[in-house]
A = this chain, B = another copy of it.
Amino acid sequence: MEKYAGRHILLDMWGINSDLLTDINFITTTLRLAAIEANATILYDHYHHFGEGYGITGVLILAESHISIHTWPETDFAAVDIFLCGNCDPKDTLPVLMNHFKPKKHVTVQEYKRGEEQ
């Protein structure tokens, strides 16, 4: 029996082509592919584009929690959160995210157990 509510990955990626970071169709599709790859159930998504040349912020609401993204095209940076509970593993989303965003500089992946019993 699991002793925590879910696993949460904070993924920071640098060196992404800035055109991708302002492309709402690309981002929407990539996050959906990531959720599917982790066998998560998509309930809803919503994205906000701050205007041409500016970043995108959005979230994919899942039966197993969420995937969120915030992009900074001016610094080729994206911050993605993958919080999954149940039998889904957020690590399963990483190959899809890396293959699509193709960060050319450093990437940080920090994983936390949320709601760990103490």
A residues lining the B interface (CB < 8 Å): 5-6, 8, 10, 12, 14, 43-44, 46, 48, 50, 57-59, 61-63, 65-66, 68, 70, 72, 75, 77, 79, 81, 83, 85, 106, 110, 112, 114-116, 118
Bound together, the chains give a CA A75 to CA B61 distance in angstroms of: 21
Contact A65 B61 (CB under 8 A): no
Bound together, the chains give a CA A61 to CA B65 distance in angstroms of: 15
Contact B57 A65 (CB under 8 A): yes
B contact residues around A10 at 8 Å (CB): 8, 112, 114
Contact B85 A70 (CB under 8 A): yes
Bound together, the chains give a CA A6 to CA B79 distance in angstroms of: 9
Bound together, the chains give a CA A69 to CA B76 distance in angstroms of: 28
Q: Smallest CB–CB gap between A43 and chain B, Å? A: 5
Bound together, the chains give a CA A14 to CA B32 distance in angstroms of: 31
List 24 contacting pairs A-B, 8 Å CB cutoff, sorted by A.
A5-B70, A5-B72, A5-B79, A8-B10, A8-B79, A8-B81, A12-B116, A14-B118, A43-B48, A43-B57, A44-B46, A44-B48, A46-B59, A57-B62, A59-B66, A59-B68, A66-B70, A68-B68, A68-B83, A75-B115, A79-B114, A79-B115, A106-B118, A110-B112
